[in-house]
Chains A and B, each alone.
Chain A
């Protein structure tokens, strides 16, 4: 079945460093991937969309890459801040109009 996998272990980094989160997909070839941020007790909020032919996309301190050979997307937060602490979700469209999500990676940024 079509799957999206994210590292279930929490990522702990120091303020100012770059956080890198991984999203791997299996058994399909998505035309694009989306990244969302979710704070405790809240619904996910959309951050970025990257298409399979874009390789890299940036938005302020955020950068997303898409490697169709590795079947992987990397999500980077540069100059991380404690306010960036949240769970980050990867998502994509599968057949039949279904958008599926990975389990998310929790990021903790220490001051």
Chain B
């Protein structure tokens, strides 16, 4: 039982490049989330999904897009990376709206 798996774990991009972070969960959870974590800022919600085919904006959605085509996968895309998007990205899932969040190990992204 892998839980929540994020790929890649590390990535370096140049400004303007695009990339996709993949999150996969094997717990059959309905809810999935993408957060970014920056020093002193804590975890900030980027986008989330309450079920397959649904997505919604979180606290800091600008510059990111997401898709949830399959229940087990939640993709986070950066169309044109900016240095301000240098961060550690965490994916999480939960079985209910108030259930505990299960997190992946994080994806460290550096934009030069």
A: residues with CB less than 8 A from B are: 6, 8, 31-32, 34, 36, 41-46, 49, 89, 91, 93, 96-104
Contacts and interface: CB of A to CB of B under 8 A. Distances in A.
Nearest to A44: B103
Given A45-B103, A98-B45, A101-B43, 20 more contacts: A8-B40, A32-B98, A34-B100, A41-B105, A42-B106, A43-B104, A44-B101, A49-B100, A93-B97, A93-B98, A96-B56, A98-B48, A98-B58, A99-B33, A100-B45, A100-B59, A101-B42, A101-B44, A103-B41, A104-B42
Contacts of B64: none
Contact of B98 (A31, A100, A104): A31
A98 B101 CA distance: 12
Contacts of B45: 98-100
Q: Interface SS of chain A: helix, strand, loop or mixed? A: strand
Contacts of B97: 93, 97
A91 B40 CA distance: 16
Interface string B44-77: 1100101000001011000000000000000000
